[in-house]
């Protein structure tokens, strides 16, 4: 299993949610796995250049493929610190607004169809702490381009099972890729 988060931000943005919030989760997972090791080997990876067409994760995924290494699951942590519980705060892509809440107070899991069983289990565990929704997407997310906006897509493109764990980025967070993406805008308690 591979769990990753990117550590770059767009120029001009401090990147508190995109993606320091996910890096903080990655570091906490490292601490948790040190205290309670997983049954399977786990790699925790911080990728660079996600904001540059996922260059870091594309290179890593291609190297895995070239070496023929198996990968049970890739989890991409992407923007996990913004929350807005007001009605209408969540602006889901067309057609999905009937399936998902219009409040921005949940974590979303977005995975290729191969990950449906893992997403269901992971959603159950996340729901022990915060609300969680999940979305399986076919065709490597190409029919819903917003689902491809992080490092997991590099793994989808090579046929690996991958899930993005996110606060849903720009469809919720008005500070996305702006100078206002700072720690004061995050919900560090919920």
29-72, pLDDT tens digit by residue?
999 999 998 888 999 999 999 889 999 999 999 999 999 999 99
Residue 145 lies inside a defined structural domain of this protein: yes
How far is 100 from 133, CA to CA, in rounded Å? 7
Whether residue 71 contacts residue 2, with contact meaning beta carbons closer than 8 Å, is answered with yes
CATH code, 147: 3.40.630.10
Model confidence pLDDT, tens digit, residues 152-168:
999 999 999 999 999 99
Residue 44 lies inside a defined structural domain of this protein: yes
Domain count, the chain: 1
Residue 80 lies inside a defined structural domain of this protein: yes
Encoding tokens for residue 175?
């500070």
What is the DSSP annotation of 132-177? EEEEEESGGGTTSGGGGSSTHHHHHTTT--EEEEES-GGGT-TTTT
How far is 18 from 142, CA to CA, in rounded Å? 22
Residue 190 lies inside a defined structural domain of this protein: no
Owning domain of residue 87: 2-185
Pick the closest to residue 57 from 2, 138, 99 (CA basis).
Answer: 2
């Amino acid at each position: 299993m591979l769990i990753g988060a990117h550590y770059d931000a767009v120029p001009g943005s401090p990147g508190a949610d995109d993606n320091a919030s996910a890096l903080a989760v990655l570091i906490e997972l490292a601490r948790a796995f040190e205290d309670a090791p997983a049954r399977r080997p786990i790699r925790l990876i911080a990728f660079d250049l996600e904001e540059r067409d996922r260059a870091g994760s594309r290179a890593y995924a291609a190297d895995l493929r070239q070496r023929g290494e198996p990968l049970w699951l890739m989890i991409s942590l992407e923007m996990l610190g913004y929350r807005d519980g007001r009605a209408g705060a969540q602006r889901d892509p067309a057609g999905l607004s009937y399936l998902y809440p219009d409040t921005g107070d949940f974590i979303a899991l977005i995975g290729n169809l191969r990950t449906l069983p893992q997403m269901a289990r992971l959603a159950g565990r996340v729901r022990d702490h915060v609300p969680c929704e999940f979305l399986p997407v076919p065709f490597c997310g190409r029919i819903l381009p917003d689902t491809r906006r992080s490092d997991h897509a590099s793994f989808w493109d090579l046929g690996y099972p991958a899930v993005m764990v996110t606060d849903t980025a720009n469809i919720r967070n008005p500070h996305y890729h702006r100078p206002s993406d700072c720690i004061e805008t995050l919900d560090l308690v919920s």
